[in-house]
Amino acid sequence: MSKNDNMLAILWMLNSGAKITAKQIAEKLEINVRTVYRYIDSLCASGVPIISDTGHNGGYSLLNNFFRAPLIFDIDEQKALLHAAVFAKEAGYPFSEALSRSTEKLKMYSNQEQESILNRHLAGFEVINRDIDPSVKTILEELERAVANEYSVEIEYRTGHEEQPRPRVIDPYGMLYWNNKWYTIGFCHLRNEIRSFRAERILQIKQTQMMFKRPEAFSAKEFFLQNLLPDLEGKDGVASLIIRGRSEALDDLCIHWFLGHHLKERTSNQAVFLLDERVIHAYVPYFLLSYGKAIQVIEPQSLKIKLVDIASELMEYYKI
């Protein structure tokens, strides 16, 4: 057997509760006693709480509650889990209390050396995100259960252009986190189609008696991105957006969540994007205004005119 297989076999032997000697382990696994010692040392180094008793009735044994602890993770895996927990909490992960308990267990059952290493890695690792309203976490908890158990929910939902919420029944197929916001994707009984719903706009939610079956191979992420960033290949009304400017400003535009998706060509001082003409005039000017003189629009000419109009309106608005 491989080293990993042998070490796992030793763990199962020790988990029986009875003491077992290195010689007994060696005989069962058909390996050298010295090899057993090396495996025991490796398990101890990874944080497995192995008790070693010497003498006539000596042998190896495990702490009784070892298998309640996630100590089969090596130090890099533990570090990755704790770092991921920091991201999850800052993103408004709805089950943050359970997450905190699990990370505390991870640290609790680590040996002293591991705990010191983990604390050093956590001390310099932080994530800044916007605060999420506690009521949204309650919404997310109910949505997660509905997605997992495939039951419909009734929600009070307010869109971005409506002042008053409207009742809807939806079959939530999935949840996703994008651009500092939580969404659920599901079938809307009111509109009779699959739609995305922003969690912050769900004012109330309650379980219904209706059940649904999620379509096979459905991906909330793919649906969301397809609607957010549609494929323009072969479509009419597509135009080139050519921008010149400082390298660092162009770098920023090329990784922009929207423009980066439509990047077609990049040189040291120029970037070319392929976009829907309506989008160029409706949204792109507001993406570009904050860059000031760091960039210059080369094409289309209509976008230059649009930028001038917006800048003039702002000047007039703020004129004293």
On whether the pTM is more than 0.85, the answer is: no
Give me the DSSP letters along the chain: --HHHHHHHHHHHHTTSS-B-HHHHHHHHT--HHHHHHHHHHHHHTT--EEEE-STT-EEEE-TTGGGS-TTS-HHHHHHHHHHHHHHHHTT-TTHHHHHHHHHHHHHTS-HHHHHHHHHHHHT---------HHHHHHHHHHHHHHHHTEEEEEEE--TT-SS-EEEEEEEEEEEEETTEEEEEEEETTTTEEEEEEGGGEEEEEEEEEE--PPTT--HHHHHHHHHS---TT-SSEEEEEEEE-HHHHHHHHTSTTGGGGEEEE-SSEEEEEEEHHHHHHTHHHHHGGGGGGEEEEE-HHHHHHHHHHHHHHHHHH--
What pLDDT score was predicted for residue 186? Answer: 96
Residues 168-199 pLDDT 10s: 999 999 999 998 889 999 999 999 999 999 99
Residue 195 has what pLDDT? 95
Residues of the chain above pLDDT 70, percent: 94
Kindly tell me if the per-residue pLDDT of 246 is higher than 70: yes
Does the bond joining 300 to the residue before it have cis omega, within 30 degrees of 0? yes
Q: Where are the domains of the chain?
A: 3-68, 75-123, 134-228, 238-318
State the Cα–Cα distance between residues 74 and 72, nearest whole angstrom.
Answer: 6
The architecture in CATH of the region 3-68 reads Orthogonal Bundle (1.10)
Residue 185: what pLDDT? 96
With 70 as the cut, is the pLDDT of residue 150 above it? yes
Most confident of 80-84, 184-188, 274-278: 184-188
Q: What is the pLDDT of residues 279-320, one digit of tens each?
A: 899 889 999 999 999 999 999 999 999 999 999 999 999 886
Query: 134-228 adopts what CATH topology?
Result: SH3 type barrels. (2.30.30)
Q: Considering the chain, what is the average pLDDT of its residues?
A: 87
Segment 149-166 mean pLDDT: 90
Give pLDDT tens digits for 15-28.
777 788 888 888 88
Domain covering 238-318, topology: Alpha-Beta Plaits (3.30.70)
